[in-house]
């Protein structure tokens, strides 16, 4: 056990910029982390990765010869499943590429902006994500990859607010997992759906668009004051807590982070439980940390129904485990069984 604790996490850095490789290497060279290989592009990296097998890969997306997306795909074809974090200086316009990478098997991403001068914050983020990724299981991301798109179907909303609500929370590994769950829900599920994914503000709009394209539901970022309606899916915008108000309208809150995150799953679930009571289904999917545990406890205490993803299918079992540790999980299920259970529990809710 002691040997395992003292063993360094071996990291591979794949980036075509000499300056960026050195910059990243200097940032992550702390106790417990060792840079074991560097490469200038995906093609150059494949042989090195196969030979040295690092614990985590930090991958740029836009590179010559072989870009990051192709590299992830080639690793998968060769059976090399190493947790990969996208590390790039992409702008908001590049967020589509990031979502592609997350769908194809990347575990997480970090935005680098050397102009902001906050090396300490970036270092803390990188080191934390490397440690999380080293304990993840990317095989679940590959298994859950969705290859075909469903048609985007316009929803017709009723005039009133939803009487039943589903709140889904996730973090690391969540984008592809949420997509799979929504893809398998019935098109006319009689409830509103709120999504809380730990994701920076630059990416939530694109993530909502991606979910709309891939699931058949209309998904959008929530707006201040809008009403929760059946068949509509609202995503918490990055950097805002999404609060359910007594009149079943959304309030976007920029108060302090909870468990180091904003949006917080807890904030949405606790407020939703106070409004919807027993007419609420809470779902916690893959993710690191404890966010959502207290929220699910609140849902259960008020007579709602709670579902968590099991360890065997989670990329990271932190958030689901937090719910289980609080005895707040009614159902602990594999990812393939969660959509049908959500549907079943919604039908069982009291109108």
Last residue of a domain, one of 84, 113, 143: 143
What pLDDT score was predicted for residue 339? 97
| 160 found inside a domain | no
What helix, strand, coil percent values describe the chain, rounded to 5? 40, 20, 40
Distance CA 328, CA 330 (A): 7
| 329 found inside a domain | yes
Parent domain of 91: 2-143
Q: Which residues are catalytic?
A: 171, 198, 291
Question: What is the rounded average pLDDT of the residues 10-34?
Answer: 94
Least confident of 34-38, 86-90, 222-226, 238-242: 86-90
Q: Which residues pair with 193 in a beta bridge?
A: 166, 233
- Is 150's pLDDT higher than 60? no
| 107 and 210 fall within a common domain | no
What pLDDT score was predicted for residue 254? 92
Residue with tokens 């075509």: 16
| 159 found inside a domain | no
Digit-coded pLDDT (tens) for 49-64? 988 999 999 999 888 8
Digit-coded pLDDT (tens) for 70-111? 899 899 888 888 999 999 876 555 567 788 888 888 999 998
- Is 227's pLDDT higher than 50? yes
Last residue of a domain, one of 110, 143, 176: 143
Q: Are strands 9-14 and 56-59 parallel, antiparallel or unpaired?
A: parallel
Question: What is the rounded average pLDDT of the residues 224-234?
Answer: 94
Per-residue confidence band for 69, with pLDDT thresholds at 50, 70 and 90: confident
The residues, any chain, with a CB within 8 Å of residue 191's CB and separated by 6 or more, are 162, 164, 165, 166, 230, 281, 346, 349
Distance CA 177, CA 338 (A): 11
Distance CA 345, CA 331 (A): 10
Assign residue 292 the CATH number of its domain: 3.40.50.180
Percent of the chain with pLDDT over 90: 68
Assign residue 127 the CATH number of its domain: 3.40.50.2300
Distance CA 271, CA 169 (A): 14
How many domains does the chain contain in total?
A: 2
| 171 and 309 fall within a common domain | yes
Last residue of a domain, one of 89, 112, 143: 143
| 187 and 278 fall within a common domain | yes
Whether the bond between 263 and the residue before it is cis, its omega within 30 degrees of 0, is: yes
DSSP string, 24-83: HHHHH-STTEEEEEEESSHHHHHHHHHHH--SEEEE-SS-SSS-HHHHHHHHHHTT----
Least confident of 107-116, 162-171, 183-192: 107-116
Closest CA to 29 of 13, 17, 5: 13
Least confident of 145-159, 173-187, 253-267: 145-159
Per-residue confidence band for 2, with pLDDT thresholds at 50, 70 and 90: very low
Helix, strand or coil, per DSSP, at residue 227: strand
- Is 148's pLDDT higher than 90? no
Closest CA to 54 of 68, 27, 74, 75: 75
Tokens read off for 295: 């929220």
């Amino acid at each position: 056990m002691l040997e395992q604790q003292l063993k360094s996490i071996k990291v591979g850095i794949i980036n075509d910029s000499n300056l960026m490789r050195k910059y990243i290497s200097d940032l992550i060279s702390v106790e417990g982390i060792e840079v074991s290989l560097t490469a200038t592009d995906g093609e150059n990296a494949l042989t090195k990765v196969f030979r040295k097998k690092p614990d985590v890969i930090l991958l740029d997306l836009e590179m010559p010869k072989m870009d990051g997306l192709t590299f992830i795909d080639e690793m998968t074809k060769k059976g090399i499943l190493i947790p990969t974090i996208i590390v790039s200086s992409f702008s908001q316009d590049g967020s589509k590429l990031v979502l592609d990478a997350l769908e194809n098997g990347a575990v997480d991403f970090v935005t680098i902006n050397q102009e902001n001068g906050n090396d300490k914050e970036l270092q803390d983020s990188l080191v934390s994500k490397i440690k999380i990724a080293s304990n993840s299981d990317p095989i679940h991301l590959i298994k859950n990859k969705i290859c075909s798109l469903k048609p985007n179907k316009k929803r017709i909303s009723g005039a009133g607010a939803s009487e039943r609500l589903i709140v889904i929370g996730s973090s690391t590994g969540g984008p592809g997992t949420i997509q799979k769950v929504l893809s398998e829900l019935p098109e006319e599920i009689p409830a509103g759906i709120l999504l809380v994914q730990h994701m920076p503000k630059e990416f939530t709009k694109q993530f909502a668009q991606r979910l709309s394209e891939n699931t058949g539901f209309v998904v959008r970022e929530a707006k201040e004051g809008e009403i929760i309606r059946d068949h509509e899916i609202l995503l918490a915008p990055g950097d805002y807590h999404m609060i359910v108000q007594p009149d079943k309208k959304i309030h976007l809150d920029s108060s302090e982070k909870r468990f180091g995150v904003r949006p917080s799953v807890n904030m949405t679930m606790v407020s939703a439980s106070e409004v919807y009571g027993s007419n609420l289904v809470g779902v916690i999917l893959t993710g690191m940390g404890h966010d959502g545990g207290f929220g699910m406890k609140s849902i259960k205490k008020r007579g709602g129904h709670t579902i968590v993803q099991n360890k065997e299918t989670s990329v990271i079992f932190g958030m689901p485990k937090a719910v289980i540790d609080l005895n707040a999980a009614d159902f602990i299920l594999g990812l393939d069984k969660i959509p049908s259970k959500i549907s079943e529990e919604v039908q069982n809710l009291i109108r």
